[in-house]
Structure 1
Amino acid sequence: MSALSSALPDFPWDLLEPAKTLAAAHPDGIVDLSVGTPVDPVPPAVQEALSATSDSPGYPLTAGTPALRAAIAGWLARACGTTGEPGVLPTIGSKELVAWLPTLLGVRPGDVVVIPSVCYPTYEVGARLAGAEVIRSDSLTAVGPDRRVKLIWINSPSNPTGRVLPAAHLRKVVDWARERGVTVVSDECYLSLGWETTPVSVLADEVTGGDHTGVLAVHSLSKRSNLAGYRAGFVGGDPALVAELLAVRKHAGMIVPAPVQAAMIAALTDETHVADQRARYAARRDTLRTALTKAGFEISHSEAGLYLWATRDEDCWATVDRLARRGILAAPGAFYGPAAARHVRIAMTATDERVAAAADRLAEPFTD
């Protein structure tokens, strides 16, 4: 028996431990801007919904309750400009879906999964778990006429770059994939966090023409609603693909707990808490962007999402170490692909006090 883990890359965050130790030694403590974990409170209405359904002794539905499915569909219509009746399915956060989606959709050894040149590492992990080959490319022309391509990942707004793909680009990807029988999956976990532009969903009618065939969109409540600890996500799109996912997930026991399903309904049917959270992130973004620019960093893309994609035009690990000596922990671009080796990702997910501390430390001359 061969260990499946041998086919996977090193877990990236383990590689950051030395820098984390260095940053933690700062006299005023660490400012952790690396992973991007939410720090603000869970909305009260969501907490109340979770508590009210805590007495849930029976098995929950893998497909989600009818009320949850309706809430997801309603949100897709309002936030994504989706008409018709897309298939919907709750997931245990979005990361598990990203990691297992190629396998669940029948991608096999010898197949090809296309991922962005700079992207969330789990896209590659999911392809490797399925035994597939990975091609990093932002251009379908560069992919060429490879008939082994079975699945294409797109990510807008991007993690880590914050880049937003316009509707015309998304439409070209969908048209290209449909001509070849390839599934398009769009990771849209940061859709609610556009700053300099308004992100467009791959499920928008202007992209799909109202036809969801061959298209899926992955969403998460971790960032928009501070529910990372709840593991609350969902996928929507092609009803046939969603039905296939449901059929397999029922066998595999991939079920969102009943109290979390109730909490998801509360989160999806209220936008006030989303606006409040956006305002917090906007203020932190302004503080960090100003401080980084004054410190000599160039900010690339970053028009949406929860991160600033920054560079000093040096090896990313050198930048990580410079920041760590100031008690600031950032994520090296190398985590996100070879093309990102001169950038670092700076998260906005720290308290106002810690963000202010980071800004003060960035004002120190970068002479080391």
Structure 2
Amino acid sequence: MGFAPFSTPYDWSRLSAAKAVASQHPDGMIDLSIGSPVDDVPASVRKALAGAANDPNAYGYPVTRGTKQLREAITRWFAKTRGVDLNALDAGICPTVGSKEGVSLMASLLGLGKGDVVVQPRISYPTYEIGTQLAGAETLKTDVADVESWAHVPGVKMVWVNSPSNPTGEVLTAAQLHAIVDAARRIGAVVVSDECYALMDWRTAGPELTATDCILGSDVCDGSAKGLLCLYSLSKQSNMAGYRTALIVGDNEIVAPMLETRKQIGQIIPGPSQAAMAAGLDDLDAVLDQRARYRSRLELLVEGLRTAGYEAVMPEGALYVWVKAISGDCWTDIDALARLGIIVSPGEFYGDKAYLRVSATATDAAVNAAVERLAHAAPTA
């Protein structure tokens, strides 16, 4: 395992000029770019963090594989929210220091390198490609659900799935996921499914807790975790980005050696954060409250963008409105929106410079203010 150079453009400093313009707006800058949570961490999580501050897992070295309490909470969460029995699958569990390190180290931890090919969605989170480049492997960008576009390509060893998608919000069906799993198993490739937005499913209108299909669901994996890994994070469901609490579950023959490697290099969630993570997984009422906030903000942003002339639609899932730039170029629209004091993400970061990503991870006041500004000015004027 070594780190090769990476070249994928994901440089947020490129928004500096637009931010300088936006900051001059009389009512200040509204940042709808980076998807960093802004709402309170649930009280249950804060209480668990404080209560664990002097536990043996805090003053001593924490457990790499997670405490018994955490592992049981992860198992309960998958059963309650995803309909997945990790025990029946004999699935391995690996807590990670946030989801980004799990994503960026994945190809390296799988031992991939020169000559190996990693398949990923054409429009996607840039760290998939960065992680592949760090491992020295090659990237194939395609429509992952179109298995014929990659299943016969020599050297494919890993397939990234992201549903709901960051940035597009697209959700894959169980049938699509099943086809991906079948094709990957036929060629001996590992499927890694990034499901960090799984509870942010907007396809139904009710307030109940719904989730997208899981790669480890029985109708997807045929009752076996072989060759499958699922990633999840508490950053969005529980506003715990700063706690660095995420996980990998799946084929124990893959997870077990990952745990051993992580133990040797010290990639371990701090003990108090493990206790907080368990509390966050169990507090589904707080998740429901947060879902309601995000749904409302997304609906407002879609309405505001439409008023400004964008062809915006409610995403199927996740926390972003993925919309085509009116000018046809993301940077031109970013400059125009900056004059309204609004900052959004360039689609170029995700694979298409003709689009913008507008994040709902902003306060209600900020979202309402952005909608008001969009209603009173044409962004490309």
Interval of TM-score (by shorter of Structure 1 and Structure 2): over 0.9
Report how far residue 239 of structure 1 moved: 1.2
TM-score by length of 2: 0.93
TM-score by length of 1: 0.96
1:295 aligned partner: 308
- The answer to whether the Cα contact below 8 Å between 1:42 and 1:225 also exists between their aligned partners in 2 is yes
Q: Decide which of 360, 364, 368 is 2:376's aligned counterpart.
A: 364
Q: Decide which of 147, 150, 154 is 1:147's aligned counterpart.
A: 154
Query: SS state of the match for residue 312, structure 2?
Result: strand
Superposition map of 1:111-190 within 5 A: 111-138=116-143, 139-190=146-197
Structure 1's 195 and 36: CA in aligned 2 closer, same or farther, altered over 3 A? same
Q: Decide which of 261, 266, 271 is 1:253's aligned counterpart.
A: 266
Q: List per-residue Cα deviations over 1:170-227 (Å, max 9, x = no partner).
A: 0000000011110000000000100125521111111011111000010000000000
Count of residues paired in the alignment:
364
2:207 aligned partner: none
2:238 aligned partner: 225
Report how far residue 6 of structure 1 moved: 4.2
Moved more, 9-18 or 69-78: 9-18
- The answer to whether the Cα contact below 8 Å between 1:161 and 1:300 also exists between their aligned partners in 2 is no
- The answer to whether the Cα contact below 8 Å between 1:161 and 1:301 also exists between their aligned partners in 2 is no
Question: Is 1:101 aligned to residue 106 of structure 2?
Answer: yes
2:11 aligned partner: 12
Query: SS state of the match for residue 247, structure 2?
Result: strand
1:345 aligned partner: 357
Report how far residue 263 of structure 1 moved: 0.1
Q: Decide which of 71, 74, 85 is 2:73's aligned counterpart.
A: 71
Report how far residue 9 of structure 1 moved: 2.8
Q: Decide which of 204, 210, 215 is 2:223's aligned counterpart.
A: 210
- The answer to whether the Cα contact below 8 Å between 2:302 and 2:313 also exists between their aligned partners in 1 is no
Report how far residue 299 of structure 1 moved: 2.3
Give the residue type in structure 2 aligned to 1:321.
D
Moved more, 82-91 or 163-172: 82-91
Report how far residue 364 of structure 1 moved: 2.1
1:25 aligned partner: 24
Between the aligned residues of both structures, percent identity stands at 46
Moved more, 75-84 or 98-107: 75-84
Report how far residue 5 of structure 1 moved: 7.3
Query: SS state of the match for residue 119, structure 2?
Result: strand
- The answer to whether the Cα contact below 8 Å between 1:60 and 1:255 also exists between their aligned partners in 2 is yes
Report how far residue 163 of structure 1 moved: 0.4
- The answer to whether the Cα contact below 8 Å between 1:295 and 1:363 also exists between their aligned partners in 2 is yes
- The answer to whether the Cα contact below 8 Å between 1:203 and 1:237 also exists between their aligned partners in 2 is yes
Question: Is 1:81 aligned to residue 83 of structure 2?
Answer: yes
Q: Decide which of 237, 243, 250 is 2:256's aligned counterpart.
A: 243
Superposition map of 1:55-70 within 5 A: 55=54, 56-70=58-72
Q: Decide which of 334, 354, 362 is 1:320's aligned counterpart.
A: 334
Query: SS state of the match for residue 229, structure 2?
Result: strand
Query: SS state of the match for residue 277, structure 1?
Result: helix
Off by >2 Å, runs of 4+ in structure 1 = 3-12
Structure 1's 209 and 306: CA in aligned 2 closer, same or farther, altered over 3 A? same
Q: Distance in 2 between matches of 1:228 and 1:24?
A: 25
Unaligned runs of 5+ in 2: 205-210
Give the residue type in structure 2 aligned to 1:70.
E
Query: SS state of the match for residue 225, structure 1?
Result: coil
Q: Distance in 2 between matches of 1:80 and 1:184?
A: 18
- The answer to whether the Cα contact below 8 Å between 1:186 and 1:202 also exists between their aligned partners in 2 is yes
Q: Distance in 1 between matches of 2:300 and 2:59?
A: 47
Q: Distance in 2 between matches of 1:346 and 1:29?
A: 18
Q: Distance in 1 between matches of 2:314 and 2:156?
A: 28
- The answer to whether the Cα contact below 8 Å between 1:298 and 1:312 also exists between their aligned partners in 2 is no
Q: Distance in 2 between matches of 1:317 and 1:203?
A: 39
Question: Is 1:334 aligned to residue 339 of structure 2?
Answer: no
